[in-house]
């Protein structure tokens, strides 16, 4: 993305939370382009209870914690995950969870709580009408997202807002793996039922205000996502985060196979090793290669074509 226009487009007074905060924890590339919007949303909502379904290494979770802390209230953020992986991510190591536990204890001891359960079990830990902000970012098949939304909907408060990541996963941006993603279809099926908004960048973020009494300035923010200037603003702010992430040089995560053969997993590792020696992949490319081990080979070919 061309970010040359960013400085004249910052609209500093309009999106004060976006402009006041910069993410402290960036661990993976997929979601981080939405952190500027998340800051603004949390700043305006001042949610008492935020729940994330799918926390992984904590890039989105930490952004919610950071914004809740900045609001100065006594809000709490719950991250629900089995930390075992899924059909999209592959399988990951136990250290990932242990590192999250340590991070929460060190940085957000009074704000963050991790719940290591299946989403369908964890839902019983919350009272009906108690959750203000819900982020759905677990398994991304249509059936899973539909189940997560409908299972957790009764828990939403009258201020309730639900976020869906990955509404813009396509064959063009991730390859054949996109066929397993049903978030777009599910989001389209509910978005006209509620005040809703959406962003295309960073694999897409859908927003629905499910509560009957969501604050006017939050509804305004959600509706502004239909304005091309606003979309361009948040995409540009998100691109700055992604560019910063690239500059940190964090190695793309390596996950074990989740149904792949050992031979395929070996090929993926070899592709990863080759990728690490290839200079400066683009932000989009970093996103692509981080998605699934089977995409590494495809990414390598694209990088070769770009370099040629
Ligand atoms: C895409 S990742 C989350 C990414 C994260 N939000 C971030 O910003 O990096 C999805 C996570 O959801 C978890 N997950 C998927 N389905 C689950 C379920 N039914 N119960 C618990 N965890 C689940 C996976 O273990 C994985 O860590």
What does the pLDDT look like over 209-238, one tens digit per residue? 999 999 999 999 999 999 999 999 999 999
Whether 26 and 57 share a structural domain: yes
Whether 269 and 302 share a structural domain: yes
What value does the mean pLDDT take over residues 90-110? Answer: 94
Which one is predicted more confidently, 245 or 305?
Answer: 245
Whether 228 and 269 share a structural domain: no
Whether 53 and 170 share a structural domain: yes
* Cα–chain center distance at 64: 11
Task: Give the CATH number for residue 86.
Answer: 3.40.50.150
| Pairing outcome for strands 205-209 and 156-165 | antiparallel
Q: What is the pTM of this model?
A: 0.84
| Of the candidates 62, 138, 47, the residue with the CA atom closest to the CA atom of residue 104 | 62
Whether 123 and 271 share a structural domain: no
Whether 219 and 281 share a structural domain: no
| pLDDT of 59 | 97
Residue 4: Cβ-neighbour burial (10 angstroms; 0-12, 13-18, 19+): exposed
The reply to whether ligand 1 has any atom less than 6 angstroms from the CB of 166 is no
CA distance 151 to 109: 28
Whether 289 and 220 share a structural domain: no
Domain boundary among the residues 215, 246, 277 is at: 246
Structural domain boundaries enclosing 265: 253-307
> Cβ contacts of residue 11 below 8 Å, gap of 6+?
233
| pLDDT of 120 | 98
CA distance 127 to 300: 47
The verdict on residue 165 lying in a domain is: yes
Pocket test for ligand 1, best of 24, 26, 86, 202 (most atoms within 8 A of CB): 86
| pLDDT of 93 | 84
* Cα–chain center distance at 198: 13
| pLDDT of 87 | 80
What is the band of 284 on the pLDDT scale with cuts at 50, 70, 90? very low
Total domains present in the chain: 2
The reply to whether ligand 1 has any atom less than 6 angstroms from the CB of 202 is no
- Cα–ligand 1 centroid distance for 72 (angstroms): 28
Domain boundary among the residues 221, 246, 271 is at: 246
pLDDT in tens, 15-61: 999 999 999 999 999 999 999 999 999 999 999 999 999 999 999 99
Beta strands in the chain (DSSP E): 49-53, 76-80, 112-115, 131-136, 156-165, 196-199, 205-209
The reply to whether ligand 1 has any atom less than 6 angstroms from the CB of 59 is yes
- Percentage with pLDDT > 70 across the chain: 79
The reply to whether ligand 1 has any atom less than 6 angstroms from the CB of 138 is yes
| pLDDT of 305 | 38
Whether 70 and 53 share a structural domain: yes
Q: Which residues of 180-209 are buried (b: 16+ CB within 10 A; e: fewer)?
A: bbbbbebbeebbeebbbbbbebbbbbbbbb
The verdict on residue 141 lying in a domain is: yes
The verdict on residue 1 lying in a domain is: no
What value does the mean pLDDT take over residues 135-150? Answer: 97
Whether 263 and 230 share a structural domain: no
- Out of 19-28, 59-68, 288-297, least confident range: 288-297
| Of the candidates 37, 15, 13, the residue with the CA atom closest to the CA atom of residue 241 | 37
The reply to whether ligand 1 has any atom less than 6 angstroms from the CB of 66 is no
């Amino acid at each position: 993305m061309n970010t040359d226009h960013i400085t004249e487009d910052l609209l500093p007074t309009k999106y004060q939370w976006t402009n006041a905060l910069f993410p402290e924890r960036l661990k993976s590339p997929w979601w981080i382009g939405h952190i500027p919007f998340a800051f603004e949303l949390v700043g305006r909502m001042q949610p008492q209870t935020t729940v994330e379904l799918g926390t992984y290494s904590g890039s989105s979770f930490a952004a919610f914690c950071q914004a809740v802390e900045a609001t100065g209230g006594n809000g709490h953020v719950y991250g629900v995950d089995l930390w075992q992986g899924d059909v999209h991510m592959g399988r990951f190591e136990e250290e990932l969870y242990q590192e999250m536990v340590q991070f929460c204890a060190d940085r957000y001891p009074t704000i963050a709580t991790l719940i290591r359960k299946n989403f369908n079990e964890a839902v019983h830990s919350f009272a009906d009408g108690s959750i203000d902000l819900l982020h759905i970012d677990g398994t991304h098949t249509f059936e899973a997202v539909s189940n997560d939304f409908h299972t957790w909907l009764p828990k939403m408060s009258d201020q309730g807002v639900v976020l869906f990541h990955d509404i813009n996963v396509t064959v063009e941006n991730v390859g054949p793996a996109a066929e397993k993603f049903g978030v777009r279809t599910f989001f389209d099926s509910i978005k006209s039922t509620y005040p809703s908004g959406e962003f295309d960048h960073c694999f897409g973020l859908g927003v629905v205000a499910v509560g009957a009494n969501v604050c006017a300035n939050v509804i305004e923010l959600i509706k502004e996502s239909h304005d091309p200037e606003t979309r361009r603003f948040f995409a540009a702010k998100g691109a700055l985060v992604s560019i910063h992430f690239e500059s940190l040089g964090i190695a793309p995560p390596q996950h074990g196979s989740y149904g792949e053969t050992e031979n395929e997993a070996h090929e993926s590792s070899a592709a990863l090793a080759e990728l690490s020696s290839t200079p400066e992949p683009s932000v989009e490319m970093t996103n692509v290669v981080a998605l699934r081990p089977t995409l590494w080979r495809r990414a390598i070919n694209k990088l070769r074509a770009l370099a040629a």
